[in-house]
Structure 1
């Protein structure tokens, strides 16, 4: 039987009266044109890669992810590309053919536009660092000591730490223990310009301090760090720490949120609640530096590590950003943190437990305080020595309290002048009192 092409040629011969030799020429030409030289034959043999320059060959090898470090000549590059022709994507093959034929402009082969070897995650990390690093500063502290038998003063270095720009007014946030006992603090910016730092105020219980850059010119712009929120942090989300460990400025370490809601003892012995735990490497010199989320926003201030040797052990802690925002804003506004108080003096927790109490025992009430006006009762002793226990505070603003520290933690989220709902147990009965909060006496 004849194929479709043979039938067509046979009909053509009958119609045109072609001779046998003419038929052989037509058949051979048709087979050669359609079978031996298909439209994309040049795509299969890749011989046209000879038309490309060495830079272009390297460009396409880079784009295809093909290693060519062992190639020394252009011929070897072409052979390497030819050998990997089946692994090229259709779009890359099309670009290659168009470029070789001259129908498409040659690609820009500058280093910037050659195949990007970075992963998307790496590019995001670089972007976070580039955006945040200008806001991170290096702090060095010292004290002035008068020499014996002389009026000369010597400047004795105390230590170094990190900090970050809080606002365009030149306020810098760091840890309290970075500037503790220091008489001078020098702030080195990311561009290595040096300024004197003046202490605005501190909150030792939260290990936070605020400095202000002295002599900052209005013509010199500074970049504040973006402040996020520590509320809603999830274990496992990526974090970045920028600081100056061991004096090595502008150092980036990465990790994840290892834990949330941790309670750790601060430098004063009081508990810092809601601390963020991370495995990002934090070493001496990182203190006071920012802990950032994947958007480059502040979620904590690196404050301490858990390590017998003093070096990073993969367990670091940061004061949560929500606490930092509240404390820093008060220090900038008032020079100190104004802490709300009920106006009571409480018994030690151990004494309350020895008496079989589960709440906080009121020893005395400050005259004229909110507690005094609300009618809270303190512990009293009669003329013949009989002791009458005062009120037992068991709940504040809907939160159960078992220690004086619990009360302080609840109240620090409130403002002076607000009213707190206090539930007390008095002579076996529960009563709810409304107490107006006043500033705690320092």
Structure 2
């Protein structure tokens, strides 16, 4: 990924414009008041991930009687704890806080510490890997919090400030300017939905998840990545815009996942030669190289070889601008596209589709940070598995918390849960509804399939 490294923690502070400002002194801004008034809302995040060896499957299969089979099934090996850290900041007085997804990804335990040395345990409300954001919650009221600014008003050359814990040096402040806006940085999955803010602020490992401030003490971004060949800052840092964060926060609070607009196209950059061949006077736009059959773009009449110049009123200067524009559009919206086809401009109407969010990564409030009350991450069973295993539904276990109720019952990744208590499980939605109402301190039967073979166990949720 072009040497883009994820940071483990950054903290940046911000307060309302009416309360905080950085006044120029001898031609340069003075950040002392800004840092003093915003730092109480910044937190250091520490995580613990429990790692165990992969269980070994014994090759006896159905030759072993059922009464002995449980003795030979995979067991969790002795585990070790892996510790990491990052930054975050409170966005409301009732304990909601924001950080990077990669700071808490896979964590079994999350704790946050304020500058006044108070510490709280945190749970995951929801995560959005596509934007690398995570919404956490602590059980406390009356907390200091920061204000999210309108990042669209940010200008190249503006002063910005970050506060974080680079290399474990807690609550360190650094400053610089905005170097560029709308940077496209594809992820390892070649997804590109964040128009990053580029700065020359000194951001290092340990700064991830912290706020980036303007001179009014408002949060304009969430520090996320750096470009480096040395492992430290070389003046190329990237932050997720606050407007992107606002959309993600609202959706995670509302439904625990983030759905984005989807067009159903494969695009490429338009260079000088392509621009000339398609009748453009200069390079620009996004060239459609492939269409998803039956997708929104296909249904709207878009064709391979069309060049998208505007989407929903947003100019597409480069191909990377299109995913930003489409992803920020609400699914179901009907918008216009300005295209060039065979050298002539044309306007099309398209109903934006849905790029569904990751629903399996939600953790319930008051539960372990991995997989809700049972300590598992699940997803729907596909039709191929239903046919092969001759089941009507269920949920596939993708990850298991090593000390959760499911692990204690012997559930491992790859199992398909089809019944809890006396209720059959059809899909993820029904699974979540049933698990939500399970009693505590009571043995509950759970039925699951492993490699096509059904088995019953008991599971107990502790208070």
TM range (shorter): 0.5 to 0.7
Q: How many residues align?
A: 306
1:347 Cα offset (Å): 5.8
In 1, Cα distance between equivalents of 2:136 and 2:310: 37
1:426 Cα offset (Å): 5.1
Question: 1:6-45 maps to which residues of 2 (within 5 A)?
Answer: none
In 2, Cα distance between equivalents of 1:347 and 1:235: 28
2:455: which partner in 1?
none
Question: 1:251-400 maps to which residues of 2 (within 5 A)?
Answer: 251-253=172-174, 255-265=175-185, 267-268=187-188, 269-271=190-192, 274-342=195-263, 344-346=264-266, 359-361=286-288, 363-367=290-294, 370-371=296-297, 373-374=299-300, 376=301, 393-399=308-314
Q: Is the 8 A contact 2:228 2:234 kept in 1?
A: yes
2:32: which partner in 1?
126
1:179 Cα offset (Å): 1.9
Matched, 1:420 2:335: yes
Q: 1:188 to 1:158 in 2, by over 3 A?
A: same
- Deviation digits for residues 48-95 of structure 1, max 9, x if unmatched? xxxxxxxxxxxxxxxxxxxxxxxxxxxxxxxxxxxxxxxxxxxxxxxx
Q: Is the 8 A contact 2:291 2:298 kept in 1?
A: no
Q: Which structure shows the higher helix fraction? A: 1
Q: Is the 8 A contact 1:186 1:197 kept in 2?
A: yes
1:243 pairs with one of 133, 150, 164:
164
Q: Is the 8 A contact 2:179 2:200 kept in 1?
A: no
Q: 1:135 to 1:347 in 2, by over 3 A?
A: closer
Question: 1:398-417 maps to which residues of 2 (within 5 A)?
Answer: 398-399=313-314, 401=316, 405-417=320-332
**Over aligned residue pairs, what C-alpha RMSD do you find?**
3.6
2:45: which partner in 1?
139
In 1, Cα distance between equivalents of 2:95 and 2:302: 47
In 1, Cα distance between equivalents of 2:52 and 2:121: 21
SS of the equivalent of 2:152 reads: coil
SS of the equivalent of 1:168 reads: coil
1:317 Cα offset (Å): 2.3
Q: Is the 8 A contact 2:166 2:205 kept in 1?
A: yes
1:193 pairs with one of 118, 142, 156:
118
Larger radius of gyration: 1
Q: 1:360 to 1:279 in 2, by over 3 A?
A: closer
In 1, Cα distance between equivalents of 2:201 and 2:165: 14
SS of the equivalent of 1:206 reads: coil
Matched, 1:440 2:361: no
1:145 Cα offset (Å): 2.2
2:18: which partner in 1?
none
Where structure 1 has 5 or more consecutive residues not aligned to the other structure, the ranges are: 1-118, 379-388
1:138 Cα offset (Å): 0.8
1:261 Cα offset (Å): 1.1
Q: 1:274 to 1:340 in 2, by over 3 A?
A: closer
In 2, Cα distance between equivalents of 1:295 and 1:153: 51
1:407 Cα offset (Å): 2.4
- Deviation digits for residues 4-53 of structure 1, max 9, x if unmatched? xxxxxxxxxxxxxxxxxxxxxxxxxxxxxxxxxxxxxxxxxxxxxxxxxx
In 2, Cα distance between equivalents of 1:209 and 1:226: 17
Q: Is the 8 A contact 1:134 1:189 kept in 2?
A: yes
Which structure would you say has the larger RCO, counting Cα contacts within 8 Å and 6 or more residues apart?
2
Q: Is the 8 A contact 1:365 1:377 kept in 2?
A: no
In 2, Cα distance between equivalents of 1:177 and 1:334: 21
Question: 1:155-174 maps to which residues of 2 (within 5 A)?
Answer: 155-174=80-99
Q: Which structure shows the higher strand fraction? A: 2
- Deviation digits for residues 228-276 of structure 1, max 9, x if unmatched? 22233344433221112222222222x2314131515255454465433
Q: Is the 8 A contact 2:309 2:317 kept in 1?
A: yes
1:181: which partner in 2?
106
Q: Is the 8 A contact 2:196 2:239 kept in 1?
A: yes
1:431: which partner in 2?
346
1:301 Cα offset (Å): 1.2
Question: 1:203-242 maps to which residues of 2 (within 5 A)?
Answer: 203-213=128-138, 216-217=139-140, 220-242=141-163
Q: Is the 8 A contact 1:362 1:392 kept in 2?
A: no
In 1, Cα distance between equivalents of 2:110 and 2:344: 56
1:170 Cα offset (Å): 1.8
Where structure 2 has 5 or more consecutive residues not aligned to the other structure, the ranges are: 1-22, 56-74, 279-284, 358-463
Q: Is the 8 A contact 1:257 1:276 kept in 2?
A: no
Q: Is the 8 A contact 2:176 2:202 kept in 1?
A: no
1:364 Cα offset (Å): 3.7
